[in-house]
Structure 1
Amino acid sequence: MTDFERYYQRIRRQQKRDSLIWSLVLVVLYLAAANMSEFSLVTIWQSLPHFFDYIREIIPVLHLPLLFADGKTEGSLAYWGYRLNIQLPLIWETLQLALASTLIAVVIAGVLAFFAADNTQTPASLRIGIRAFVAFLRTMPELAWAVMFVMAFGIGAIPGFLALALHTIGSLTKLFYESIESASDKPVRGLAACGASKLQRMRFAFWPQVKPTFLSYSFMRLEVNFRSSTILGLVGAGGIGQELMTNIKLDRFDQVSMTLLLILIVVSLLDTVSGRLRRRVVEE
């Protein structure tokens, strides 16, 4: 056996040993976490029939011959969607909530990100302060913000808007300033040598490099905020989530499925549209 083969075998044995050790560590951590959280695959397996029982409950009873009958005929589509006049405006409100909170958060996060990045010559005290502030904003879950604002402002869209906007500012600022820090500094040095101001360097050196990333993150966050705004409605923060919670509490199983169907349709459309816009912008 040559020296190279002995070296290769030694490295292979070391890799196998390290893999085994880390696998055992992960198994121990998993078992400890499962024990602390009372997680049990056996319990999940035993409870699955109840889950499928609920799924069967919310599936509407539709009769093919009566499918297109009027809203008074049980088994028709119109009978299933008798609350659409309430649900469609709530879906629209949820979409507006996500869009408004995302737009204002993108603007604020974009400004904060340029001051929080290491390579924009921002004073250390200001940079650290901004990073600490946005870390606090994203540490608090949207649901916690929503509960606090519902207690302060009452049930409605304002708590949902504020909760989404604050958490989005915290999340996007971090993503944005990391994108700025990964940008090439050659254009910055070139403009600085020509006597460009700090604002001009940000506009003409940093912005063209980070624009596709900024827009990609913004579109992604819009999708996330629509889903989150649906959940926030469960605690009274406006939108279709309140309708969903009401139907669940009142055991209106057919309306639970209708509400979920509307949410699924809008999320799918939003994913498709934002994905195409994101690709078009990034490819420019």
Structure 2
Amino acid sequence: MNNDFERYYQQIKGRQKRDALLWSLLLVTLYLGAGHIAEFDLHTIWESLPHFFDYLLETVPVLHWSLLFADGRTEGSLAYWGYRLPIQLPLIWETLQLALAATLLSVMVATVLAFLAAGNTHTPASLRYAIRTLVAFLRTMPELAWAVMFVMAFGIGAIPGFLALALHSTGSLTKLFYEAIETSSDKPVRGLAAAGASKLQRMRFAYWPQVKPIFLSYSFMRMEVNFRSSTILGLVGAGGIGQELMTNIKLDRYDQVSITLLLIIVVVSLLDTFSGHLRRWVVEGKQA
């Protein structure tokens, strides 16, 4: 019997090795083929990489220790480097508001759409597939593409950025939400149905308690993603700190490029830390 088990084990092990090798060869072939079609050239990247670091060195501000705390008219001081902070800080605040407003709206809309799109909530098939097709289209279009179209329609400002983030977030969150609903247990649903509960009551008291922690976790994660995306949307005139970054890049104001990037990095780090603590507190019940 031990010999039979050993033979079977060796067969399974050999099959796994063969499958792993075949899949690896397939992935390498696809990677090389895609790189050839996209004209991806490692040699060009290797030769051009020093230029990227040259640009980064250009953005490093010129600071002098002896003049570090001098007034804003003295070159080499911190005040001289951050002379545009009164403009940039409100733009950072605008970017945060943009991300928060878009996230709140998309979470509310996605929650409703998710319960209608889930396969186990007994929604009519035509409505379910219509919602799934709509949200697939919303998330297929990148935020940047939405922002460009809305900038052309509404002009430069925060409204195009808000609409772009809200639409893409709604598409992404709806898919995540209805998949979470579909993986929830149906035992509480059957119990409430046997007790005569309505469809709305089954959603409220059977599905919602199971998926609420997942919904909250995805929502906090999307808030972080939206802030990062909103900094990029500013590059096409959709408001926020990204617009300031693009202006500094175009005007070759290297010192202001560096302080704008530093502000973005600091705020993203703080937001990640805060949202992580808040998510653990809300979802897991742990003190931040």
TM-score tier (shorter): over 0.9
Letter in 1 for 2:192: L
The yes-or-no answer on 1:191 pairing with 2:192 is yes
Residue 71 (structure 2) aligns with: 70
1:156 equivalenced with 2:157 (yes/no): yes
1:88 aligned onto 2:55: no
Alpha-carbon distance between aligned partners in 2 of 1:128 and 1:166, rounded to the nearest angstrom: 18
Cα deviation digits, residues 118-149 of structure 1 (max 9, x gap):
11111111111111111111011111100110
Q: TM-score, normalised by structure 2?
A: 0.96
Q: How many Å apart are 1:2 and its aligned residue?
A: 2.9
Classify the secondary structure of the residue corresponding to 2:90: helix
Structure 1 residue 141 and structure 2 residue 142: aligned?
A: yes
Instruction: Please list the CA deviations of residues 50-72 of structure 1 after superposition, one character each: whole Å capped at 9, or x if unmatched.
Output: 11101110010111111111101
Q: What is the distance in 1 between the residues matched to 2:11 and 2:189? A: 48
| Deviation of the 1:281 alpha carbon | 1.1
Residue 115 (structure 1) aligns with: 116
* Distance in 2 of aligned mates of 1:106 and 1:204: 19
The Cα shift of 1:36 comes to 1.1
1:103 Cα deviation (Å)? 0.3
SS of corresponding position for 1:238: coil
Q: Higher mean Cα deviation, 12-21 or 230-239? A: 12-21
**Identical counterparts, % of pairs:** 80
Once the two structures are superposed, the pairs formed by residues 2-151 of structure 1 within 5 Å of their partners are: 2-151=3-152
In 1, Cα distance between the equivalents of 2:175 and 2:77? 50
Number of positions where the alignment pairs a residue of Structure 1 with one of Structure 2: 284
Letter aligned with residue 53 of structure 2 = F
> Secondary structure at 1:119's aligned position in 2?
coil
Q: Deviations over 1:22-58 (max 9, x none)?
A: 2211111111011111112222111111111011100
Root-mean-square deviation over aligned CA pairs: 1.1
Distance 2:225 2:168 in 1: 11
1:168-208 C-alpha deviation (Å, 9 max, x unpaired): 00000000001111111111111111111111111111111
- Residue type at the aligned position of 1:220: M
Tell me what 2:214 maps to: 213
Write the distance in 2 (CA, Å) between the matches of 1:147 and 1:63: 42
Describe the SS at the equivalent of 2:71: coil
Provide the rounded CA distance (Å) in 1 between the counterparts of 2:72 and 2:179.
Answer: 54
**Aligned residue runs from structure 1 range 249-264, under 5 A:** 249-264=250-265
Deviations 1:254-273 (A, max 9, x none): 00000000000110111011
Gapped regions of structure 2 (runs ≥ 5): none
* CA distance in structure 2 between the partners assigned to 1:97 and 1:40 by the alignment: 38
How far residue 277 of structure 1 moved from its aligned partner, in angstroms, is 0.7
State the secondary structure of the residue aligned to 1:196.
Answer: coil
Residue by residue, what CA displacement relative to the aligned partner does 1:196-226 show, whole Å, maximum 9, x if unpaired? 1111111111111111000000000000000
Which residue identity does 2:151 align to in structure 1?
Answer: V
State the shift of 1:17 in Å. 2.2
Cα distance in 1 between the residues matched to 2:95 and 2:125:
39
Q: Which amino acid aligns with 2:194?
A: A
- TM superposition score normalised by structure 1: 0.97
Residue 158 of structure 1 and its aligned partner are, at CA, apart by 0.5
Measure how far apart 1:283 and its partner are.
Answer: 1.1
Q: Which moved more, 1:36-45 or 1:123-132?
A: 36-45
